[in-house]
Amino acid sequence: MKRVLLALLGFASAPVLSEEVSSTAEAWRYLTRPGQSKQWLIVSSKRSDNYYVQCENVRTYILCPFPIWAKIAPGEKYLKPSGSRASPFPDVPNTQLRQYLTPQQVAALKKTLTGLGLKPVDVYQQMINQNDKLVGTAYDVRVVLEMDYRGFDSLVSSAMSTLWQASPKEGYNYQTGKWD
């Protein structure tokens, strides 16, 4: 599932694994290192790889998308976004729903993010395949973090706890990379 989610981050190029990190503090330093755009990070619960927070360095800020659902044509694997906006796109015929978070989880996530002083934004995207054919749509909730944001540890632990009742005491796995 992570490979599909990484494609939803917004880059079509292949990810290249980068370096090891072992804490949320190290993860934040990794993401915000000057001159290191296109770096990404996934923090997942040791209880399940499906419980995660993902972020990427987009030159002047950090973007953290939370995928909610994707409606994709059967058999399509390599996807990239093509156009995004704040309102849903019309459904593409013959697509199948892949639900990542329930409506209740989305509401709880938005409340948690707002409680952390962040502004959750709904982003809808059209998804195309490697031949640039429209094959579906997707919906994320995203937050933008300034490079001097001081609450990354709280963001990770609050999102994990709110969405999946995953505790920092259970531990996290860290996966880093850079888009080529």
What is the per-residue pLDDT for 16?
A: 56
Distance CA 18, CA 33 (A): 13
What is the per-residue pLDDT for 38?
A: 84
pTM confidence score: 0.89
What is the per-residue pLDDT for 2?
A: 46
Distance CA 123, CA 111 (A): 17
* DSSP-assigned letter for residue 145: E
Specify the pairing of strand 172-179 against strand 15-17.
Answer: antiparallel
Q: Where are the beta strands (DSSP E) in 60-171?
A: 62-72, 80-85, 96-99, 121-128, 134-145
The tens place of each residue's pLDDT in the chain, 180 residues long, gives 443 444 444 444 455 556 789 999 999 999 998 877 889 999 999 999 999 999 999 989 999 999 999 999 999 987 899 989 999 999 999 999 999 999 999 999 999 999 999 999 999 999 999 999 999 999 999 999 999 999 999 999 999 999 999 999 999 999 998 877
| DSSP assignment of 29-50 | HHHH-TT-TTEEEEEEETTEEE
Cβ–Cβ < 8 Å for 119, 167? no
> What are the extents of the domains in the chain?
2-179
Distance CA 147, CA 26 (A): 14
What is the per-residue pLDDT for 113?
A: 98
